[in-house]
């Protein structure tokens, strides 16, 4: 199994690139953000629980994540692996993921970060706000999400660097150029 984590700040293009990676390498794409948004739209118990947290740009509590992830993974049979998009976001989640994969006699194969600076991200997210109207794409909430990313998610880079599973690519440029750089980083591992 090839278990790939696409890592990067909000607005770095994880969603767009994850779909392309999943298609090319025959992996299942799991986006925790998409799962939460679907639950909010459908007003499920989980959706109601997480709606206000997400609209404030805060992180959903770690203990909710691992069951959601396990369920999402179990929906797929006969895939060659997974692209995790938006997960893990905290060191606790990374440890929980290791434990979950370990239970399945599996492990994280590669973590790849998309590098995009704060100014570019803020510009992209504000533009997305106009186009898609996501409630967490307002200026204040965007700032909160970037701060949370820097404080809680960024430290994960060291967690994976220590395990020699970390690579990064420049996340600024055309979608296809960035995709090609990602593929170049993946190919030696797959």
Residues that bind ligand ADP in the complex, under the rule CB under 6 A: 10-11, 32-33, 36, 53-54, 57-60, 65, 86-87, 89, 93, 136, 145
- Least distance between ligand ADP and beta carbon 64 (Å): 8
DSSP for 134-173 reads: -TT-SHHHHHHHHHHIIIIITTHHHHHHTTT-EEEEE--S
Q: Which is nearer to ligand ADP, 134 or 165 (CB)?
A: 134
Nearer to ligand ADP, 52 or 78 (CB): 52
| CA-closest candidate to residue 110, choices 147, 161, 172 | 161
- Minimum Å gap between C-beta 6 and ligand ADP is 10
The total number of residues written for the chain in this structure: 190
6/88 Cα distance (integer angstroms):
10
| Of 84 and 166, CB closest to ligand ADP | 84
DSSP state at residue 99: H
The nearer residue to ligand ADP, 57 or 78, going by C-beta atoms, is: 57
Nearer to ligand ADP among residue 151 and residue 184 (C-beta): 151
Which residue minimizes CB distance to ligand ADP? 33
Cβ 37 to ligand ADP shortest distance, Å = 7
Q: Residue 78 CB, nearest distance to ligand ADP (Å)?
A: 25
Q: Least distance (Å) from ligand ADP to the CB of residue 69?
A: 8
Q: 3-state DSSP call for residue 163?
A: coil
CB 27 within 8 A of CB 83: yes
3-state secondary structure 2-36: EEEEEECCCCCCHHHHHHHHHHHHCCEEEEHHHHH
């Amino acid at each position: 199994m090839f278990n790939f984590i696409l890592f990067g700040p909000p607005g770095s293009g994880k969603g767009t690139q994850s779909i392309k990676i999943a298609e090319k390498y025959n992996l299942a794409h799991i986006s925790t953000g998409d799962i939460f948004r679907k639950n909010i739209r459908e007003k499920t118990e989980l959706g109601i629980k997480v709606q206000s947290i997400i609209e404030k740009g805060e992180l959903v509590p770690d203990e909710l994540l691992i069951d959601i992830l396990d369920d999402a993974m179990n929906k797929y049979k006969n895939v060659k692996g997974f692209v995790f998009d938006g997960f893990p976001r905290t060191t606790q989640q990374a440890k929980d993921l290791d434990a979950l994969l370990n239970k399945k006699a599996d492990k994280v194969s590669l973590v790849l970060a998309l590098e995009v600076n704060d100014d570019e991200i803020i510009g992209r997210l504000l533009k997305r706000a106009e186009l898609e109207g996501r409630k967490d794409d307002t200026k204040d909430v965007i700032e909160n999400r970037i701060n949370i990313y820097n404080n809680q998610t960024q430290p994960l880079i060291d967690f994976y660097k220590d395990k020699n599973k970390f690579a990064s690519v420049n996340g600024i440029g055309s979608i296809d150029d960035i995709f090609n750089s990602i593929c170049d980083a993946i190919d030696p591992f797959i």
